[in-house]
Amino acid sequence: MECTILKVDEDYRILLPQSLLKRAGWTVGEEPLKGWLLVGGLGKFRLLSSAAFERDPGCRSLLATIAEIGQPTGSLIEFRDEASVVLGLRLEPVEITPRGPGWRLTLPRALAAIMQIRSKESSVALLLLQEQIEIWTLETLRASMTVPLSEFI
């Protein structure tokens, strides 16, 4: 596991190190990279390449479920449950653009607001876990440290 703390700039962008993208299996060239930002829970995202997303049956199933939820209900007086309604917010297409020695990812503003990430004020933690890049709020990272070590042994 590797952890890097990065500042969020004025346009909700973070600069991803090229070396981290390569270690996570992204094919880095000169062109912008396409991928997906998958919200795993309040305070953490997983950054997936388009290739990894398309290979994973769970991701394809999630996309189909989101499309199904977008279909109209039988009546205007029927409401969907809250978790289903916002499921589409938990999977966002993203583009990562080259910028000097790194690559720039712009966080979707709605997700940044929900996770209380503020431009020019917040920092996030980039974690490399099992060859996947995860982006955590510092609050989530701090909260994960509250479990006593004895519970792991």
Per-residue pLDDT of the chain (153 residues; tens, 9 = 90+): 889 999 999 999 999 998 899 899 888 888 999 999 999 999 999 999 999 999 999 999 999 999 888 777 778 888 888 888 888 899 999 999 988 778 999 999 999 999 999 999 999 999 999 889 999 999 999 999 998 999 988
What is the distance between the alpha carbons of residues 133 and 45, in angstroms, rounded to a whole number? 9
Domains contained in the chain, CATH given: 2-151 (3.40.1550.20)
pTM score, whole prediction: 0.88
- Distance, in Å, from the CA atom of 88 to the CA atom of 137, rounded to the nearest integer, reads 20
DSSP E strand stretches across 8-139: 13-17, 33-41, 44-49, 91-99, 102-106, 123-129, 132-137
